[in-house]
Structures are given as C-alpha cells and as structure tokens.
Amino acid sequence: MLVDSHCHLNFPDLAADLAGVIARMQAAEVTHALCVCVNLRDFPQVLALAERYPNIYASVGVHPDEPPGNDPELNDLVELARHPRVIAIGETGLDYYRQTGDTAWQRARFRTHIRAARTCGKPLIVHTRAAADDTLAIMREENAGAIGGVMHCFTESLTVAQQAMEQNFYISISGIVTFKNATALKQVTEALPLERLLIETDAPYLAPIPFRGKPNEPAYVRYVAEEVARIKKQPFATIAEQTTANFFRLFQPQD
Ligand SMILES: [Zn+2]
Ligand SMILES: [Zn+2]
C-alpha cells in the first residue's frame, strides 16, 4: 500500500486519461493520492476529482509561480478549506528560481497561506526553490510549526530538512531521488528519519527513472519508494507502510 502525497491530476496530460491513471494506480497498489491545487481558478476541478474518487484528496492554495495579482484572501482559503475532502493548504511557499526581481508579493502570499492553515487547522504543503532561508524564516515568524505540514519535492540540504522537521514538518521525496546525478538528495534521504518521510510524484512532472522525460503519474510513486528503500537499506514494505502511516498521521482525512 502506497500513497502519492503530491500530484496534479487535474492537469491536461493526466485529466485526459483519468480512468487509465486511476486503474494503473490500483494495479501498482497506490491506494490514495493528494491532488494539489495551484490556483483558485482550477480549484473546482481539483475538488471535483476528490468528490468523485473516494481515494483522491484535495488541497487549496495558490502556487508561488502564479503571477502577482492572483493572491487569495485569508478568508477565501479558510472558506474553501472547510470542505471535508480538502485536507491541506497549498501548494504555497517561495520560488526565487522561476520568479526574480521584486518577490515581496510571494512572501506576503506565503504568509496568508500559513495564517489560513493555522485558522482552519489543516497542514501546509510547502514548495521552496532557491529560497530556503526565507522560507524557513517566514515559517518561523508565522509559527507554521503550530499546524505543521510537508516540504514537498525536497531538494535542499540536510540542515534545511532538520530546520523544517524542528518546525513539525515532514519531508517529501520525489522521483528526483532516482536520477543518477542526485547524489546530494540520495545522501539527505539516507539520513532522514523514517517517521518524517513522505513520497510523491509531483505528476505530471518529474517522472522517475525508468520513465524520466515522459509524463509522470501517481502509479510511479512505487519507483520512488523502491529507490528510498534501496538508499535506506530497508525492505520495500517498511518504506511503503511507514510513508503511508505518515501521510495519514499528517493529513488526518475525515472521510
Ligand atoms: Zn511544487
Ligand atoms: Zn506540485
């Protein structure tokens, strides 16, 4: 039993063959997936998936790469997050790789999401790229640790992981860990405590080896689990059980 803790099933590549995607999940023993929202325009589609499929959950949030001007109000997020199929706030965070220049709007948007998560009592999905120090600083200032969450698609150092874990966050490993040149991430993965580990695809992006460069899908989270098992010298079943238990402990879906 495996869970894909982060994917985008509403994106065209996956939505076009949803029945196939769901069937291949089942065949790969991927029992659940969290479909992550990136902007409020698409939220109705994300929620519709979670309402249609009992094993698909939804989040609500606006990605840091959504241009300025698409900033949700605190109350918008809190209201939308009341729905029982919505189990997280995000994805949110900071991305100084794709967005350069004045990024004050990103930091303000991130703070709004943390406040929303604390208000509605649902954990955060944090995206951070080329912005680890600011991400951790804002998490501390806004007391994100009071609600916790996950650092998704983690590619930062062990020190960053430790500072996030000190704030009650889990660390999610994506298919990047299967890439031959991902030496640093493999070392970080080896050092991470099993109790804080999640796995994800971030589908349709970042397909693991042997599908690198092709569209990704939740079934492939199995390849992430296999690589994590290899790196941590643990049985596959242990990684599957522990990451699944971690997912349900963090997000606590109500139905
Ligand atoms: Zn992301
Ligand atoms: Zn994502």
pLDDT per residue as tens digits for the range 90-121: 999 999 999 888 999 999 999 999 999 999 99
Mean pLDDT of 163-185: 98
Q: Which ligand is nearest to the CA of 37?
A: 2
**In 1-95, which residue ranges form alpha helices assigned H by DSSP?**
12-15, 18-27, 43-52, 74-80
Between the CA of 128 and the centroid of ligand 1 the distance, in Å, is 7
Q: What spacing in Å lies between the alpha carbon of 152 and ligand 1's midpoint? A: 6
User: How many whole angstroms from 220 Cα to the centroid of ligand 1?
Assistant: 17
Q: What is the pLDDT of residue 99?
A: 83
Q: What is the mean pLDDT of the chain?
A: 97
Query: To which H or E segment does residue 123 belong?
Result: none
What pLDDT is recorded for position 254? Answer: 87
Per-residue pLDDT, averaged over 165-170, amounts to: 98
State how far the Cα of 55 lies from the Cα of 51, in Å rounded to an integer.
9
Concatenated DSSP letters for 79-100? HHTTSTTEEEEEEEEEETTT--
Mean pLDDT throughout 5-31? Answer: 97
Percent of the chain that is helix, strand, coil (3-state, to 5): 45, 20, 35
Query: Are the beta carbons of 155 and 130 closer than 8 angstroms?
Result: no
138-153 pLDDT per residue, tens: 999 999 999 999 999 9
Q: Looking at residue 101, what is its pLDDT?
A: 87
Beta-carbon neighbours within 5 Å of ion ligand 1: 91, 127
Identify the sign of the CA torsion 35, 127, 168, 223: positive
User: How confident is the model over 35-57, as pLDDT tens digits?
Assistant: 999 999 999 999 999 999 999 99
User: What's the mean pLDDT in 187-209?
Assistant: 97
- Residue 127, judged by CB atoms within 10 A of its CB (0-12, 13-18, 19+), counts as buried
Output the CA 255–ligand 1 centroid distance in Å.
26
Task: Evaluate if residue 255 carries a pLDDT over 80.
Answer: no
CA distance 167 to 39: 26
Q: Is the pLDDT of residue 160 over 90?
A: yes
Q: How far apart, in whole angstroms, are the C-alpha atoms of residue 204 and residue 103?
A: 27
Peptide bond connecting 208 to the previous residue in cis, omega within 30 degrees of 0: no
By the 10 Å C-beta count (0-12 exposed, 13-18 middle, 19+ buried), 180 is classed as exposed
What separation in Å is there between the alpha carbon of 7 and the centre of ligand 2?
A: 6
pLDDT at 221 over 80: yes
